[in-house]
Copies of this chain bind each other. A is one copy, B any other.
């Protein structure tokens, strides 16, 4: 029912019955029109508001957004699923694991002097797919020092063992460094799609990761 209402309202917006900036009828009137309770109308309109199609204010009423759809919901790759869903065979290779001093360009973000560095390559049908460079705080997660990461990816280990509270994710294009190029088997300077993710717990950064995709990778989302 609320979905029917949501779709009907969306259609009116898309067919310009209600145009960007227009005020639409209030919940009570719509409830009468659709022959349902106000709560049901509220459910439908709240969804459309969350999705960016409507803007709602008390007393001022509900308006069609001037800039429809301002958000895209990107699914963050769980690499294994991402590769297997394309029908390919997933594998994982540990490249490096060791306690190290955090590079200066990261030190500010991480606010820790030394951490466990885990570097790994994710492969699709045996071909390089993604190079993961991860730093894990051994202060926040002392247990991490017991794990070899030879058979389990850092991602999976963290999901099972870490208590996180918030973080950020960033996307950008970077030229392949010498190391990137050797590991991913591409030319130095090739344009790489890079995802950086910082995860924090209650007491500061738990982990920071840079994931560099093979050139040509696209991250797609319906809108």
- How many copies of this chain sit in the oligomeric assembly? 2
- Tell me whether A108 is interfacial, beta carbon within 8 Å: no
Question: Closest CB-CB distance, A114 to chain B, in whole Å?
Answer: 25
* CB interface residues, A 176-209, toward B, < 8 Å: 189-194, 197, 199, 201-202
Q: Which residue of B lies closest to A222 (CB)?
A: B168
* CB interface residues, A 12-58, toward B, < 8 Å: 14-16, 20
A222 touches B191 (CB 8 A): no
Question: Closest CB-CB distance, A56 to chain B, in whole Å?
Answer: 17
Query: Provided the pairs A14-B165, A171-B219, A192-B173 are in contact, do residues A20 and B70 lie with their beta carbons within 8 angstroms?
Result: no
Across the interface, which residues of B come within 8 angstroms of A86, CB to CB? Answer: none
Across the interface, which residues of B come within 8 angstroms of A66, CB to CB? Answer: 159
CA distance A223 to B197 in the complex (A): 9
Across the interface, which residues of B come within 8 angstroms of A16, CB to CB? Answer: 163
CA distance A199 to B169 in the complex (A): 26
* CB interface residues, A 133-180, toward B, < 8 Å: 159-160, 163-175
Across the interface, which residues of B come within 8 angstroms of A217, CB to CB? Answer: 172-173
A74-82, A87-95, A99-107, A118-126: which one contacts chain B? A74-82
Most chain B C-beta atoms within 10 Å of own C-beta, residue among A20, A69, A191, A199: A191
- Tell me whether A85 is interfacial, beta carbon within 8 Å: no
| A: number of interface residues (CB 8 Å) | 51
B76 touches A220 (CB 8 A): no
CA distance A173 to B216 in the complex (A): 7
30 A-B pairs (CB sep. < 8 Å): A14-B164, A14-B201, A14-B202, A16-B163, A67-B78, A73-B73, A74-B74, A76-B223, A166-B222, A166-B223, A167-B223, A168-B221, A170-B219, A170-B220, A170-B221, A171-B193, A171-B219, A172-B218, A172-B219, A173-B192, A173-B193, A173-B194, A174-B191, A175-B191, A189-B191, A190-B191, A191-B191, A191-B192, A197-B223, A199-B223
In the complex, the 6 A-B pairs of residues with the closest C-beta atoms, listed nearest first: A173-B173, A191-B191, A173-B191, A173-B193, A170-B220, A172-B218
